[in-house]
Amino acid sequence: MPSLPTILLSPSDIEHLHDVVADVKSGMVKQCLPIGLAFAIVLGLTAPIVGQAAASARLAGVGVVDTLCVWFIFFVSGLTLKTEDAIKALGARRALAWAIFSILGATPLVAPLASRLPPPFPAEFALGFAIFCAMPTTINTGVALTTQAKGSFALALVITVVTNLLAVFTVPFFLSAVLQLTAVRIDAVRLLLKLLVLILAPLVVGKGTRELSSGARAFAATHKQLLSLCSNGALVLIPWMKLSDSAAELRSARGLSLLLVVLLAFAIHALYLAFNALGCALLRLPDDERRAVVIMASQKTLPMAMAVLAAMPAEFGEPGLIAVPCIVSHILQIFVDAFIATRWSHIPPRAPGAEPHVTSSRLDEGGAHESVEMAAPLSRSPHASHDEHGADRQPGGRAAGRDEHEREADAARASGEPPADDRSPDGRRAARVRGARLLADAGRGERSDDRGAV
């Protein structure tokens, strides 16, 4: 007996409805991080008791939920980290040098300007902005967003560790010289232990699992999107808990003052993004390094700012109000960079001098559209042939268009999943384009053979 949708809708209507549902699902998957952060902001401000309960779970003085979230993020990063990417990151001297200069030298110069903000800004807000601008880069969110943006995860990790350790010496000096905060002290040993436990330990465990288990490598390749979605979910939980914890301070600020704080936080972060994007363009960094540097060098860490705030004398003002610009700036930078990372995630990174790429869309194993990188046919060797995937094959049998991303797609197909192109309207269109290209190439080959026979 036919179902009700079959009776009410024609086959073409049903196919169109399936396409619409697939497009909506694809859009939600692509924008999962911004959507999740938007829910985190709404839930954190309207029902902070839930986030406060999650943040209050502690073991030996350490937050359980946020620690597990950070651990999961870096375990997944280690599970998907390729050895050649780590080696490449260690050799990215120009990118690392610019990141250190920007994070510890250039971007903190906004702090003296922020500390002199005129009314209607309260003096506490101006001081909060100045402290936040003097901080190093984020410890976990920047690395996670770099991974989302298909930037160099390994380079982002190196930037985080190096700049946060150097900040132990530069931040107290800077705050003392510019803001006359002579009472600020940062515990270098405690910071180092935090970096080891929260970042390096789960990263090593994940990387070791990848190297020791072929099943883990196959799982990471086959379920790449699932791991990415779970990692993004863990990333969303962190600012949600911070925002819930800070709801009282945010409510204590007057409406106009809070609006001005949001606008100024956005302006400062936009300035950082533009400055670092310009620096990367002048250095002509590869795409993956550029994405890592722009995100990492434009963010500032909140925990160290809170540590500085805790060490400040009482005469500097109400600590709750000083914390407001730090909290708002931290949440806003994650929200803005999440949109940037999501946009970059659909544009495959390209090294300098490489051929331009065209991007088609297909459905992955989760039913969502996934960008597929194909080399644009700008030039082809007269001796090149095509393999079964349509990639140019040079003499010697090497497929020029097959990189590691395509090998991971092969692993997904080998796992028994049905061909993605058969389930996606965009995939079917891409298949027709490839088929037409193969027919055209075959026709040119036949004409060449005919001329040779004559």
pLDDT digit string (tens) for 180-195? 655 556 666 776 777 7
Query: What is the CA angle 226-299-277, rounded to 5?
Result: 95
With CA atoms as reference, report the closest residue to 175 among 232, 242, 227, 127: 127
Q: What is the pLDDT of residue 449?
A: 47
Task: Assess whether pLDDT exceeds 80 at residue 390.
Answer: no
Q: What is the pLDDT of residue 430?
A: 62
CA distance 382 to 250: 66
CA distance 136 to 185: 15
Query: What percentage of the chain reaches a pLDDT higher than 90?
Result: 19
Q: Which contacts qualify for 20-25: CB closer than 8 Å, 24 or more apart?
A: 22/363, 22/367, 22/369, 22/424, 22/425, 23/369, 25/367, 25/368
Task: Assess whether pLDDT exceeds 60 at residue 356.
Answer: no
Q: How high is the mean pLDDT of the chain? A: 75
CB hemisphere CA count around 251 (13 angstroms): 11
Decide which of 3.90.420.10, 1.20.1530.20, 3.40.50.1370, 3.40.50.620 is the CATH code for 31-344: 1.20.1530.20
Judged by DSSP in three states, 371 sits in strand
Q: Computed from CA positions of residues 258, 264, 265, 267, in that sequence, does the dihedral angle turn out positive or negative? A: positive
Query: What percentage of the chain reaches a pLDDT higher than 70?
Result: 70
The neighbour count for residue 151, using CB atoms within 10 Å, is 27
Q: What is the pLDDT of residue 86?
A: 78
DSSP state of 385: E
pLDDT confidence of 279, banded at 50, 70, 90? Answer: very high
Tokens of 98: 């610019």
* Cβ atoms of 289 and 88 closer than 8 Å: no
- In which order are the strands placed within the sheet that holds 392-394? 385-386, 392-394, 398-399
Q: How many residues does the chain have?
A: 454
DSSP 2-25: --HHHHHS-HHHHHHHHHHHHHHH
pLDDT confidence of 395, banded at 50, 70, 90? Answer: very low
CA distance 146 to 156: 7
Give the residue extent of every domain in the chain. Answer: 1-30, 31-344, 357-453
Q: Is the pTM higher than 0.75?
A: no
> 2-11, 180-189, 385-394: which has the minimum mean pLDDT?
385-394
CA distance 343 to 323: 31
Q: What is the pLDDT of residue 434?
A: 65
Q: What is the pLDDT of residues 109-151, one digit of tens each?
A: 998 888 787 776 778 888 889 889 999 998 778 888 998 899 9
Tokens of 257: 């003052």
* Cβ atoms of 73 and 132 closer than 8 Å: no
Task: Assess whether pLDDT exceeds 80 at residue 433.
Answer: no
pLDDT top residue among 208 and 315:
208
Task: Assess whether pLDDT exceeds 60 at residue 422.
Answer: no
pLDDT confidence of 400, banded at 50, 70, 90? Answer: very low
Task: Assess whether pLDDT exceeds 60 at residue 387.
Answer: no
Q: What is the pLDDT of residue 295?
A: 96
Burial of 310 (0-12, 13-18, 19+ CB in 10 A): exposed
DSSP 198-214: IIIHHHHHHHHHHHH-H
Q: What is the pLDDT of residues 199-243, one digit of tens each?
A: 788 888 998 999 999 899 899 889 888 888 888 888 788 878 877
pLDDT confidence of 337, banded at 50, 70, 90? Answer: very high
CA distance 111 to 179: 9
> 189-193, 362-366, 435-439: which has the minimum mean pLDDT?
362-366
With CA atoms as reference, report the closest residue to 280 among 434, 159, 396: 159
